[in-house]
A and B are shown apart, each in its own frame.
Chain A
Amino acid sequence: MTSRIDRISLLAVPGLAYLAVIYALPLLILLAKSIRTPDGISFAEYAAFFSDDYNMGVLLRTLRVAALTTLLALLIAYPTAFAMNRAKGPMLTVFLVAMVLPMSLGVVVKAFAWSILFRANGFINTSLQWIGLTEKPVRMLFTETALVIGAANVFLPFMVLPIYAVVRQLDQRLPEAAASLGATPFFRFFHVTLPLTLPGVVAGSAFTFSMAISMYVIPSLIVGERQQTLSMLIARSFLYLRNEALGSTISAVLLAIAIIVVVFSSWLARRLEARQ
C-alpha cells in the first residue's frame, strides 16, 4: 500500500523540479542579492528602503490600489456569481464566454481601449458634459481611480469563478429552511448565504489581491511613471538604475506581502471549511 502511494507521489516530481529550477532557484539568487553587500551580509538595503518616504508612499499606494481593486472586483463578482448560478443553457454559456474571452485579449489592448474611454475628450467625459453633470473634462486617465477600475476589470474572472464554484455547491434548501424559521431575506443573507459562500470570497480575494499587488503592465499603461507601484519601482531599479540590490530588496518585500496573503487566506479558508 505504501509503495503504491509512493509511486503515485512520483508524479509530482516533474512539476516540483520545474518549479525548483525556474522559480525557486532564481528567486533565492535574487533574495541573496538583496542582503549581500560589499561589506558582507547586511539588511542595510531594507532599512534604507523602509526609511525612505517615497518608497513607503509607493508601498502604501500599491497596497491601497490592490485592496480597492479587490473590493471593487468583489462587489461586482459576488452578485454575478449568483446570477451565473441561476442561469441555464445558452445564458450560462454567454456568462462563461464573457468571463474568459476578455482574458485572451491581452492587457495592452484593453489598456489602450480604456484610455479612449477615460481621456479628456473620451467617451465618459463627453457623456458627462453632454448630460450636463460636468462643465470641463474630469481628469480620469493617469488617476488611481482609473487604475482600480481597469485592474478590477482584468482580474474579475479570478474573483467570479471561485465564488461561482462555491455558490454552485450551496444547498438551495438552506435559505428556504431559514425562511421557514422566520428569517427575513436580509437575515438569511448575512447568517446563511454569506457565511457559506465566504470560502469562495476568500479564495477570489486572495487571487485578485496577490495579482493586483504585483501588476506592472496595467499601472504602466494607465497611470504611467507619475504614480509608481512596487512592480514599477522594481523594473526601474533593474532596467534604468541598474541597482540590483534595491531591485531585489523591493522584490523581497513584494514577495513577503504575497506570502502573507497566501498563508493568511489559506488559513482562513481552512478555518471556514472546518466549521462546515
Chain B
Amino acid sequence: MTAEKAPAGRHYLDVWGVAKSFKGTRVMSDMNFRVERGELVSLLGPSGCGKSTLLRIIAGLLDADEGSVVLDGRDITRQPAHKRNISVVFQNYALFPHLTVAENVAFGLRARGMAKGATGAPVADALALVRMTEFADRPIAALSGGQQQRVAVARALVVGPDLLLLDEPFSALDRKLRETMQVELKSLLLDRGITAIFVTHDQEEAMGVSDRIAVMNAGRIEQFADPSTLYSRPASPFVMDFVGLSTRLEAVSKGRDGDLTVFDTAYGKVRAQENIPAGTRALVGVRPELVKPGEGENRIATTLADVMVLGSKTVLHGGAGEVDRILCELPGIRSGMARGDKVELGWAVGDTLVYGMAS
C-alpha cells in the first residue's frame, strides 16, 4: 500500500484505492469512487460485479483490505458502522419483526441515547414524510412490501444521516409499485438534500433515480457519468450492452476514407468518425431509436427476425442472434411490417458507436 493520504475534503464522499479479497480471491482493487454533496448516485452492474461489496465497505459492514473512505472530511475507514452516521435501506428492508412501525422508526434515535418519551415528535414527522402515520402501532408483519419500504426509509432518515445507502430498494416490489416508489423516494431525497447511493442491477431504475451512475463490472467502475452521457456515449461495449439495448455488429476497419473510418460488417459497409487503424477488429453499435428504415448515411440490409408491437413503440429485430444484433425502435404502433420482410435500416454516422478490440 502506498503512503499517500487521501485528498480529504475535496469530495463529499471519497472512496480511495479500496481493495477487497474474499478467501484469497481479489474482488476489488484500487477502487476510486467519489460522490458530491446532495447527489443521488447509482452503482449499477450485474450480480457479482462488486457493487454490494462497495456499498458494505462504505457502510462499515465490511472492512476494506486497502485504501480509505472519507466522508465530509472525516476518515471513516476504520470506524465501525454504528459510528459512521450512514443509514442503510436493505434489500428486504430488514425491519425489526419484534417491534411496531413506530418502534422501528424510533430505533436509531433510541440507539443514539434519546429518551423514549422524546422520540414521539421526530418519529411522527418521519412517518408523516412517508405517509405511514396511521400505521404507527402496527406490527411489521401486517405491512405490504411498499409499506415496509416506506418504514425502512423513515427509519433510515429519522436519524439525519450524512449519507443514505440503498441496496436494491425496489427489487422486492412489483413493477407498477416500483415506479411509483421510485418517483416518490427521489423527490423525498431531493427535497431534503440527502446524499444517497443506490445499488441496483436495473438500468431503468438507475437512470430514473440518479444524477450519476457508476456502471460496475468485475470489481471495477467501467464508466461513471450522468444517465444521458452513459446512454449516448457508453465508454465500453459492456456499458453499451448493460445500459439499454443496441444494435451491435462485429466489424473490421478498412482504414480512413476522408474524415471517416470505413468498417466491413456481415451486413455491408458502415462508417464512423472514430479513427481505428485498418485491419483492427471492432464492435460497432447504435441505439435502436436512432435507427430508421430507409434513412441515414449508414445503411444495412437485413431480414426481420421479429416485429414486436409494444404499444408505445414497435421494435424490429434483425441480424443473427448474439454476435450480430440489429434493433430498430419506432415510436407508436407500426403495421405493415412482418417477420421475414427484407428491409434496409439506416442511421447517422455521428450516432455510430465504435469500440476497437485488442487484436
B95, B97, B107: the one contacting A183 at CB < 8 Å is B107
CB contacts (< 8 Å) of A272 on chain B: these are 98
Q: Interface stretch among A2-10, A168-176, A243-251?
A: A168-176
The reply to whether A180 and B98 contact each other, CB–CB distance below 8 Å, is no
The number of residues on chain B lying at the interface, defined by a beta carbon within 8 Å of a beta carbon of chain A, is: 30
Binary interface profile of A, 172-207, with partner B (CB < 8 Å = 1, else 0)? 011011111111110110011001100000000000
CB of A182 within 8 A of CB of B90, answer no
Bound CA–CA A189/B95 (angstroms)? 16
Whether B61 lies near A183 (C-beta < 8 A) is no
User: Is there contact, CB below 8 Å, between B159 and A176?
Assistant: no
Q: Could you list 12 A-B pairs, sorted by A, with CB under 8 Å? A: A174-B96, A178-B82, A178-B111, A179-B61, A180-B84, A180-B87, A180-B156, A183-B108, A185-B82, A196-B96, A276-B98, A276-B141
How far, in angstroms, from A180 to B165 measured CA to CA in the complex? 10
Q: A176-B61, A191-B107, A276-B141 are in contact. Are A182 and B85 (CB under 8 A)?
A: yes
The count of chain A contact residues (Cβ–Cβ below 8 Å) is 22
Contacts of A226 in B (CB 8 A): none
From known contacts A179-B61, A181-B107, infer whether A173 and B98 are also in contact, taking CB-CB under 8 Å. Answer: no
A196 near B87: Cβ-Cβ < 8 Å: no
Known: A173-B92, A191-B107, A196-B97. A180 touches B141 (CB 8 A): no
A191 to B84, CA, bound (A): 20
- Docked CA distance A192–B103 (Å): 12
B88 touches A177 (CB 8 A): yes
Q: B59 interface residue, CB < 8 Å from A?
A: yes
B107 touches A180 (CB 8 A): no
Q: Mark A132-175, 1 if CB is under 8 A from B, else 0.
A: 00000000000000000000000000000000000000010110
Bound-state Cα–Cα, A56 to B108, Å: 50
Q: In the docked arrangement, what's the CA distance between A173 and B56, Å?
A: 12
| A176 vs B84: C-alpha distance when bound (angstroms) | 13
**Known A174-B96, A191-B107, A275-B139; further 20 A-B contacts with Cβ < 8 A:** A171-B94, A176-B61, A176-B81, A176-B88, A176-B90, A179-B60, A179-B61, A179-B80, A180-B59, A180-B61, A180-B82, A181-B87, A181-B111, A181-B155, A181-B156, A182-B159, A183-B107, A183-B111, A192-B96, A275-B97
Question: Nearest chain B CB to A1's CB is how many angstroms away?
Answer: 27
Q: How far, in whole Å, are A34 and B84 apart by their CA atoms in the complex?
A: 67
Contact code string B56-72 (vs A, CB < 8 Å = 1, else 0):
00011100000000000
A-side contacts of B141, CB under 8 Å = 276
Question: B residues within 8 Å of A by Cβ?
Answer: 59-61, 80-88, 90, 92, 94-98, 107-108, 110-112, 139, 141, 155-156, 159, 165
Return B258 CB to nearest CB of chain A, in Å: 58
Whole-angstrom CA separation of A184 from B86 in the bound complex: 14
How far, in whole Å, are A180 and B156 apart by their CA atoms in the complex? 9
Check B111 against A173 for contact (C-beta < 8 Å).
no
Does the CB pair B111–A177 fall under 8 Å? no
Across the interface, do A182 and B96 meet the contact criterion of CB distance under 8 Å? no
Q: Which of A173, A182, A192, A195 contacts B82 (CB 8 A)?
A: A182
Which one of A173, A188, A195, A275 contacts B94 once the chains associate, using CB atoms below 8 Å?
A173
Query: Bound complex: CA of A177 vs CA of B81, how far in Å?
Result: 10
Residues of chain B lying within 8 A (CB to CB) of residue A177: 88, 90, 94-96
Q: How far is the CB of B275 from chain A (nearest CB, A)?
A: 49
